[in-house]
């Protein structure tokens, strides 16, 4: 099979590492050759973070470059737009409509492009935008935005929900499992 490439993007501290871990565990369990690449360090201090997940029969490169990405899963509006150039023709951007102002916006040096998702749609991007924060709070914590988003992505993944739930159980600490299951269900929808 052709290699599938996914980018998980967001703001440092939003929990994208756990999301990529969940996806990595699931895809490994499914028997794929999997590569996951993340960047630690400076990016943890509220900076832009990107994690790459690639799977298929045989995957060499751990990173995703321009025009290669099948799915961008974005934890924040601006970040979804930042990496849109990586999307392949026909790819999809799943984006949480949450807005987190970066420092240049906070200091007034730049403006947050309020209609950024509309602009992406106008440019022909396939955007699946939804509010992941409200269901995360409903599940019990703003921190579970990551699992809400993965639940939402699961519908597009072609992998049965029960496999996802098994991987979730393997990935998150037992004491947070119930909250995360709820977050996953809310993201997955009916």
Partner 1 sequence: MKKLLIGNEAVAWGLYHGGLRVISSYPGTPSTEITEFLSKHDDIHTEWAPNEKVACEAAFGASLAGARSACAMKHVGLNVAADPLFTLSYTGVTGGLVICVADDPAMHSSQNEQDSRHYAIAAKVPMLEPSDSAEAYAFAKSAFALSEEYDTPVILRMCTRIAHSQCTVDLGERENTPLKEYVKQPAKYIMMPGYAKVRHPLVEQRTERLKALAEDCAYNRVENHGSKIGIITSGCSYLYVKEVFGDSVSILKIGMPNPLPEKLIRDFAASVEKLYVIEELDPVIENHVRAMGLECTGKSLFSPLGEFSQQTIREAFLREGVRFGDAPEKQGEAPQVPGRPPMMCSGCPHRGMFYTLAKNHITVLGDIGCYTLGAVAPLNALDSTLCMGASVSGIHGFNLARGAETEKKTVAVIGDSTFMHSGMTGLVNIAYNATNSTVIILDNSITGMTGHQQNPTTGYNIKGDPAAKVDLEALCRALGIRRVRVVDPYNLKECEDAVKEELAAEEPSVIISRRPCVLLKYVKPKAPLRVDPEKCRSCKRCMGLGCPSISMKDGKARIDQTLCVGCGVCAQLCPFSAIGEGERK
Residues 6+ apart with CB under 8 A from 119: 81, 113
By the rule CB under 8 A, 119 interacts with partner 1: yes
Return the range that interacts with partner 1 (CB under 8 A); candidates 81-89, 147-155, 161-169, 178-186.
Answer: 81-89
Q: Which is nearer to partner 1, 37 or 134 (CB)?
A: 37
Nearest alpha-carbon partner for 37 in 13, 1, 67, 65: 65
How far is CA 150 from each of CA 26, 54, 92, 132, rounded to the nearest angstrom? 12, 15, 14, 10
Residues 6+ apart with CB under 8 A from 137: none
Q: Which is nearer to partner 1, 88 or 188 (CB)?
A: 88
CB of 181 to partner 1, least distance (A): 22
Among 89, 158, 162, 174, binds partner 1 (CB under 8 A): 89
CB of 56 to partner 1, least distance (A): 11
By the rule CB under 8 A, 124 interacts with partner 1: yes
3 state DSSP class of 172: coil
By the rule CB under 8 A, 159 interacts with partner 1: no
CB of 190 to partner 1, least distance (A): 29
Q: At what angle do helices 161-171 and 145-157 cross, to 10 degrees?
A: 150
- Please give the residues from 34 up to 53 whose contact with partner 1 meets the rule CB under 8 A: 34-48
């Amino acid at each position: 099979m052709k290699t599938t490439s996914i980018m998980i993007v967001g703001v440092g501290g939003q929990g994208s590492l756990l999301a990529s871990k969940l996806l990595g565990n699931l895809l490994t369990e499914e028997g794929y050759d999997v590569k996951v690449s993340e960047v630690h360090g400076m990016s943890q201090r509220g900076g832009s973070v990107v994690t790459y997940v690639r799977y298929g029969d045989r995957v060499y490169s751990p990173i995703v470059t321009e025009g290669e990405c099948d799915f961008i899963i974005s934890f924040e509006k601006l970040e979804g737009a930042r990496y849109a150039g990586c999307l392949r023709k026909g790819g999809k951007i799943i984006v949480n409509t949450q807005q987190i102002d970066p420092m240049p916006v906070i200091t007034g040096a730049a403006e947050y492009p309020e209609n950024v998702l509309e602009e992406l749609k106008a440019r022909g991007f396939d955007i699946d935008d939804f509010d992941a924060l409200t269901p995360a709070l409903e599940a019990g914590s703003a921190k579970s935005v990551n699992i809400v988003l993965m639940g939402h992505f699961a519908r597009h993944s072609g992998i049965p929900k029960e496999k996802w739930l098994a991987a979730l159980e393997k990935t998150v600490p037992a004491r947070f499992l119930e909250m995360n299951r709820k977050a996953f269900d809310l993201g997955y929808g009916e």
